[in-house]
A and B are shown apart, each in its own frame.
Chain A
Amino acid sequence: MERFGASFLIAGVLTFLLGFVLQGLLPVLTLRKLPIASVAEIAKTIPPEFHQLAEDYPDEFKRYFGEVNPTSFAHALEVGKANYIAEACWHCHSQFVRPVSKEDLRFGPVSQPGEYQNMMNLPHLFGTRRVGPDLIRESGKHSNDWHVAHFYDPRSVAPYSVMPAYPWFFDEQRRPTERGLALVAYVQWLGSWVTQVPATIYNVDALQGGS
């Protein structure tokens, strides 16, 4: 039995570990130099869309988030991400821009490792399919109102869309609930750290008509 034992130790455990070290651990070590930001640290920079959200939906915003400050923004980001995962948005929307197929013209600058070094990317949401467009540079491409309408009825703003409607992000008065507002805040945060150029000039889809 001993010789089999040794074989299976090699086959089962060691080859797995070899693969894990080469393909998992080495990237971890390579990226270790880049600091990992907590959600609270990210939330110190509040994008203008979050201020706008407080103005657009003053009652709801006050009820669910209170004042516009890093604490409430961190809370909105957490809730928004949780719902993004629960609804499996990442099955149809990727979150990284590749340096090929002119993706940088359509979506914005090519993704860099440092952008993902924060606790909002635990787990990461790269995705492997794009039925809808990539979202990593979504910040500021559309208004908050557009996103709210889009969650309520995607085809009202994008007639070709096959995205499902999310009526449970809204209350009886069709006002967005905490989940709805948080998701808008989350989506509007994606890419808000790219400050050199206005994100809108990359929106090929907007330039070519439609929304």
Chain B
Amino acid sequence: MAFFATSLLGGLAYAMQFNNLYPLSGIEWLSPGRVRMVHTNMAAYGFIANAFIGGMLFAIPRLTRQPILSDRLGWVIFGAWQLFMTLTIGGQLLGYGQGIEWGETPMFVDPLIIVGLVLLVTNLATPILRTQEQGLYVSLWYFLAAFAWTGLVYFMGNYLPQFWVPGTAGAAITGLFIHDLVGLFVTPIGWGLMYFFVPLLLRKPIWSHALSLIGFWGLAFFYPMQGVHHFLYSPIPMYAQYGAVVATIAVEIVVITVIVNFFGTLHGRADAIRGNLAIRWFYTGMIMYALTCFQCAFQVTLTFQKIIHFTDWVVAHAHMVMFGVFGFWIMGLIIELWPRAVGRPWATPQLLTLHYWFTLIGLVLMVIDLTAAGLVQGFSWAALSHWGESVVASMPFWWVRSVAGLLIIAGQGLFFYAMWATARQPSTLATRAAVAVAQRV
């Protein structure tokens, strides 16, 4: 949560730079460029990774009926991961960030993270490998694949372009890394958690197991080949660019299977969207997922790339994916798991609803605003107008972005307060009974 807050504040500060209102101007280690690295890295590794590990720690023992390898190791990994994140922030603010998107983790932290990942995988994969269950549930397929991918992806992305492969070929590999981080680490774990929690909360099985396997194999096959679509029209050989475009459009088939599957599961239980806040977060995230992926199919085409590449359109897209989909799912997870973790029911359910609407409105506003800004910028450049014109024309959009960001942060403020209020209320027999009832879902 602390890293999530760091990321949010970093994002706000960075957005204010675009209004020439930067609050910390002239302080070397809080320079906007460095703060932006903290913003993106903490969103990915501080917020999403931490929350996903927490979710997997809940899901894996329940799916396998096996304990994790060692609780103590789990706590060691937790402490170590927080230490690595702190080192990452510190290193980036002091000017040791790497020049690789999403991989700005300072070089002295990289080996530590790899060790941490290996330990984490040992701890979490053990129960999956030991399980006596007949057949592995699809969530575990996703988790295992993500374990294998994440280490490979992280190593490839942080070492090859940094030490061995210069120039254009290095760019091809960085492209793979940028995309694989989202595709092979965040997406499979996110969907794995959804495959576990959605049927659990809706109290009915997933609509189609066959579709879920098609989704899995489609992801496994097409996702690793997409990375170069981040550098279309670059000096990277054209066959790689065409390949990436085709693979990206192919993955839409996968997306459709997954979306159909989950909305099939919801069929007949749609009232849960209203009654169960966690389900509401999950399905809002899924609608965003469908939208972003639909957007992907368009924006990877060379026609769209002419205009939107290098613009705020891409920034909007990134926010919709990382926060609108995976951030929203994590909110649902926290709403489901926090009362169990602290052994008390939510103290202020109304605040949670308010938090949902603040976040949703803030995010949708930001995405629409930045998408529009991207079009303005792209067409302004294509029209060969003076560079300054595109910056001046973007100003109103950047203002709206800051306001949207403030709205999101206000929502999270309510959420943090609700969590705190829940944890500190006295645990009485009545509250314990209420939690016990809630846990029967």
Contacts and interface: CB of A to CB of B under 8 A. Distances in A.
A7 B129 CA distance: 13
Interface in B313-341: 314-315
B31 A166 contact: yes
Contacts of A164: 17, 22, 25, 31-33
Interface stretch (A59-67, A69-77, A142-150, A202-210): A202-210
A36 to B, nearest CB: 6
B37 interface: yes
Query: Nearest 9 A-B pairs (CB), nearest first?
Result: A19-B224, A12-B148, A116-B167, A86-B95, A88-B33, A160-B388, A98-B233, A122-B166, A130-B310
Nearest to A103: B381
A205 B386 contact: yes
Interface of A: 1, 4, 7-8, 10-13, 15-16, 18-20, 22-24, 26-28, 30-31, 36, 83-92, 94, 96, 98-103, 105-106, 111-113, 115-119, 121-133, 155, 158-162, 164-168, 204-205, 208-210
B118 interface: no
B167 A210 contact: no
Interface stretch (B98-106, B276-284, B355-363): B98-106
Contacts of B152: 13, 16
A112 B230 CA distance: 17
A30 B237 contact: yes
Contact of A18 (B99, B148, B168, B225): B225
Contacts, number: 247
B165 interface: yes
Contact of A19 (B168, B216, B225): B225
Nearest to B388: A160
Contacts of B99: 84-85, 88, 90, 123-125
Contacts of A155: 20
Interface in B220-272: 220-221, 223-228, 230-231, 233-237, 239-240, 243-244
B170 interface: yes
Among B147, B171, B306, max chain A CB count under 10 A is at B171
A111 B234 contact: yes
A87 B235 contact: no
